[in-house]
Chain A
Amino acid sequence: MRFAVIQFPGSNCDQDCVHALQVLGQEARLVWHQETKIDPEEGVILPGGFSYGDYLRCGAIARFSPIMPAVKAAAERGQVVVGICNGFQILCEAGLLPGALTRNEGLHFRCEKAYLRVETPASPFTSHYVTGETLTIPIAHGEGCYRASPEILQELEAQQRVLFRYCNAEGQVVPEANPNGSSHNIAGICNAQRNVLGMMPHPERCCEVEMGGTDGRGILLGAAGIGRKI
């Protein structure tokens, strides 16, 4: 499958995403934010980084980029859209996912490996995993504290739209394992149609043994519509 990896001024994980997708046998093309077209067969990746220097709020300005109407249209058509880190922030600002990402509770920029508990295999992005599986995926963010109204949190839980939660090495979702103070230890969510994923951890950084892990492969392969090999 081919992916459009959107480059905003200040994106810095765009090349990593292209590389990871190619390693996984997928096609990827870089799409500058001033372009306006996304093909109806493509997947879309909004990569990590600091679009527009994080001015005003993370993702607030990228949301008005010329490419964003095409990203919205792709999401509405059911194409997969994956926002990683800054991409997650942009998806929330653009209203493609609910809630917002605010300053990490402990104020520190957290750059480390995080343990994630897979909450459900019921999405393209988690189809390679089983409920309760623990993944090790790097995080690198200063504003990853997920916040939403109690009603939205309830809706996300009821619809099983929380796909990943921060957990400890044993897979337990506990406050100590939460690196940024996110409500309900949320690390990644999807939309109601389950084709749009937003997550703070970086699956593209762990798709090769040489990079220290391969736990991110299933997320990107799943996004590409490739099922789990049994």
Chain B
Amino acid sequence: MKMKAIVTVTLKPSILDPQGEAVAHALQNMGVKGVQSVRIGKHIELEIEGGDEKALRAKLEEISKELLSNPVMENFHLDLRAGG
């Protein structure tokens, strides 16, 4: 069965996000009020052959830690769902 994994990578809260700050400034210039902060991350979609969900999840965790994110400065969130 085909599965879809969505990995969301975000900078850790302690890491300054200058891109997010620039967007927040642009929103102010647009006249948008009330935006407290903007943080920019990455949305990564993987189509992957399913099977044992526990094993698959462990594999994806490993992929996310080893390559998709850098644990020094980033966190990741894994979302696994059916379908391609």
**Interface positions of A (Cβ within 8 A of B):** 56-57, 60, 64, 92-93, 98-100, 102-107, 147-149, 181
- Please list 9 pairs of residues, one from A and one from B, whose beta carbons are closer than 8 Å in the complex, sorted by A's number: A56-B42, A57-B70, A60-B67, A92-B72, A100-B72, A102-B73, A103-B18, A106-B18, A147-B73
Q: Mark B1-24, 1 if CB is under 8 A from A, else 0.
A: 000000000010001111100100
A120 to B17, CA, bound (A): 32
A98 to B42, CA, bound (A): 23
Selected contact of A181 from candidates B16, B67, B68, B73, CB within 8 Å: B16
- The residue of chain A having its C-beta at the shortest distance from the C-beta of B68 within the complex is A56
A106 to B67, CA, bound (A): 26
Contacting pair B22 A100 (CB below 8 A): no
Interface bin, chain B: 10 to 19
Contacting pair A107 B70 (CB below 8 A): no
Q: Mark B36-73, 1 if CB is under 8 A from A, else 0.
A: 00000010000000000000000000000001101011
Contacting pair B22 A107 (CB below 8 A): yes
Name the B residues within 8 Å of A181 (CB-CB).
16, 18
Name the A residues within 8 Å of B19 (CB-CB).
103, 107
A126 to B73, CA, bound (A): 29
A228 to B68, CA, bound (A): 44
A57 to B69, CA, bound (A): 8
- The residue of chain A having its C-beta at the shortest distance from the C-beta of B21 within the complex is A107
- The residue of chain B having its C-beta at the shortest distance from the C-beta of A100 within the complex is B72
Contacting pair A105 B72 (CB below 8 A): no
Selected contact of B73 from candidates A56, A100, A104, A107, CB within 8 Å: A100
Other than the given A100-B73, A107-B18, A147-B73, 20 more pairs (CB < 8 A) read A56-B42, A56-B68, A57-B70, A60-B67, A64-B67, A92-B72, A99-B72, A102-B15, A103-B17, A103-B18, A103-B19, A104-B18, A105-B18, A106-B18, A107-B19, A147-B15, A147-B72, A148-B72, A181-B16, A181-B18
Name the B residues within 8 Å of A60 (CB-CB).
67, 70
